[in-house]
Amino acid sequence: MTHQIAVIPGDGIGQEVTPAAVSVLESFDIDFEFVEADAGDAVEAETGAALPEETYELAATADATLFGAAGESAADVILPLREAVDSFVNVRPARAYPGVDALRPETDLVFLRENTEGVYSGHESRLSDDLSTLTRVVTDSASKRLATFACDYVSDRGLEGFTVAHKANVMRETDGRFRDAVAEVADEHGVETDEVLMDAFATHICLDPTQFDVVVCPNLAGDVLSDLAAGLVGGLGLLPSANIGPDRALFEPVHGTAPDIAGEGIANPAAAILSAAMLLEYLGYDEEGKTVRSAVESVLETGPRTGDLGGEASTDEMTTAIIDAL
Ligand code: GGG
């Protein structure tokens, strides 16, 4: 069976880490058909469209997509791409690895981020020279869809429940709806939940990340809090993510374009390669996904590493070491 994989490197270091992830996938005896497409600032400068129609169509029809990073055009690239795969949840694991200098080496948790609405729903307006507004959208349906995924996620892993991070004491209507909808679904599934205000969560995770296993949160909170968790485990170069939809999915490192190092060949490929591991598991190749994860772990522990991790290796050298460790 052939799996068509859309490959959309995007901008900045996306151009460097995405080929690294593809070369790891190519190491397996799996029938992949990789189809590359453009998106991001560079193609926008050339054509006026940050997300060409053929790129959107490719993501909407491929079995899975590997995405790199988007810069200034992120809103015109990432949000529609997630919509193309009807992705209602962004799964963002954040864990520390032996051998990597981490502020909180005991960190090991997963964010399940609502992926379609909140303040990322795109309803922004400039009303005058002085005033801009943003409409925050929260629906029962999207919150319940996420909650159903979260219930299945914890049940599949033998976990008792999950934490809901929100700010319902201030955004009473929107986050109140989110919190209540998630609690209702968890109740129906017999899954335990606890809740925490998202600002307090930011403190708690720094003080003791072991309190959390699975954290369900609204869109912006998930984006920000997972980057905070990246800071605890050694940096953004370590966090992969999966945008899951009902029929297809898109995998991307949590990091952005890193313009300060783009083009130098020194970006950490681990997050993109770990995203490829999530892609393998999504397509049913659990053993291969685990193999990739173990190879990344062993290189992080003893192998060559990029500058963000205190080493001197290039992207290619670290990628080759990971492929050799498969
Ligand atoms: N690879 C992900 C990426 O390009 N991140 C930059 C960014 O702005 N992300 C926003 C988001 O994940 O919603």
The ipTM of this complex is: 0.91
Ligand 1 centroid–CA 252 distance in Å is 9
Closest approach atom of ligand 1 to CA 252: 1
Going by C-alpha positions, the residue among 64, 25, 114, 81 that lies closest to residue 249 is: 64
pLDDT the model gives residue 122 = 81
Pick the residue whose CA is nearest to atom 13 on ligand 1. Answer: 223
pLDDT in tens, 96-114: 999 999 999 999 999 999 9
Does 78 sit in the ligand 1 pocket, CB within 6 Å?
Answer: yes
Ligand 1, pocket-test mutation among 13, 16, 76, 78, most atoms within 8 A of CB: 78
Residue with tokens 């008792």: 160
**pLDDT tens-place string over residues 291-302:** 999 999 999 999
Closest atom of ligand 1 to 257 CA is 4
Angle 36-262-309 from CA coordinates, rounded to 5°? 110
Centre of ligand 1 from the C-alpha of residue 157, in Å:
27
Average pLDDT, integer, range 100-129: 95
pLDDT in tens, 201-242: 999 999 999 999 999 999 999 999 999 999 999 999 999 999
Which atom of ligand 1 is closest in space to residue 253's alpha carbon? 1
Distance CA 174, CA 106 (A): 33
Nearest to 268 by CA among 13, 3, 53: 13
- Verify whether ligand 1 is closer than 6 Å to residue 253 (CB atom): yes
Specify the residue for token string 């801009």.
Answer: 132
